[in-house]
Amino acid sequence: MSVSKMVTVLFLGLFFVQCGMNKSAQKSNTFSTVEKYHAPDHFAGMFAAAEMKYAFSGTSQSDFEKWQKAFRPELKKLLGLDMLEVQLASYHPKTELKSTEDIGYAIRERWLIWTEPDVPLPFILLRPKNAVELRGLVIAPHGHSKNTELYAGIYNDEKERESGESGERNVAIQAVKEGYFAIAPTTRGFGDTRTPEDLKSDATSSCRTLLMHDILVGRTPIGDRVWDVSKLIDWALKNLPVDPAKIVVTGNSGGGTVTLFAAACDTRISVAVPSSYFCTFVGSIGSVHHCDCNYVPGIMQLGEMADVAGLIAPRPFCAVQGIKDNIFPIAESRKAFAHLKQIYAAAGVPENCELYEGQEGHRYYKAGVWPFVGKHFNSK
């Protein structure tokens, strides 16, 4: 055989070997590439690859108890609550009564509570008149609004009154008329807890600044707000004739966010009713524009929103959602609720978990709240 023929044979042999290797590599390689970057597809892939370490998959009460025992400390750590508990272990919040007035159906008091040494948090307390016997407490954190007193029925003008009452956002007023003590706190990052720059420009909130500074030290706005709710519960149990078995948290939108996470972390909360929030992370804050304060770095490595809500079980939970809510789509809320029902079933109390669907959009629906609360309180 001539040298040229030998070279040709060797070349062809190497070519077919390489082809075989490429085919073998193609069979073992499950990744594919795209011609053009498309952000939604990339994000969907990120979500699909998230670990979801505590996504509930059990069926028994034993499965549920082991899962919850492992999950709650990890959630509190991610929110920054474990750090706050250590740093403020010896701190006892002080309070100051600023004013009091009789508003006919209740006594309205304005207070400050220092939830941290340098965080004086305003709140309004509505006392039922002649309240001396033990009764329930409702804490109603508000959502994104310049008016931090909206839930206490205090409005800046007639237009705001019409909007607030048509959307049934006077939550603390509703609560006190139901016979409960009601606390309407300023949500951290709003009102007097905005930055000097945002106060000067009259920005709605300082949520982004709060988030950016919090994550530098391993904290989150949601964790800060949960901490504030817990300090309010501490104060109320010490200073008011509150039945410790009848503590409710309920709020709309951003207030629904605080409601869900507070009840997941603080087991003293008896009933949780978030409005216009319960959904999937993927189908809401993962795909629709939302305020920065909604984001907890790494939350989907732990689980979905329904898993977080599952930490509330076996305590009663009702998600109140509008079927026309464009930022927390009802289809995703129904999907999340189906998973949450599995958790409550494993906990042995499927009847303690409800989804109330209002016929409008992103607003509060009192018809889904107070009958649910009353049913569970009256059963005690």
Amino acid occupying residue 27: K
Strand ranges inside 103-143, DSSP E = 106-116, 119-128, 135-139
CA angle 83–87–90, rounded 5-degree value: 135
Long-range contacts of 294-299 (CB under 8 A, 24+ apart): 294/222, 294/254, 294/257, 295/211, 296/78, 296/79, 296/220, 296/222, 296/223, 297/78, 297/215, 297/220, 298/78, 299/78
pLDDT of residue 353: 98
361 neighbors 330 (Cβ within 8 angstroms): no
Q: Which residues of the chain have pLDDT under 50?
A: 1-28
Walk me through the domains of the chain, giving residue ranges and CATH numbers: 61-378 (3.40.50.1820)
3 state SS of 11: helix
Report the C-alpha gap between 79 and 97 in whole angstroms: 30
pLDDT of residue 132: 79
3 state SS of 199: helix
User: Which of 327, 319, 324 lies closest to 278 in space, CA to CA?
Assistant: 319
pLDDT of residue 8: 42
DSSP symbol at 187: P
pTM for the whole structure: 0.91
pLDDT of residue 372: 98
pLDDT of residue 27: 45
Residue 238 CB partners (closer than 8 Å, separation 6+): none
pLDDT of residue 380: 60
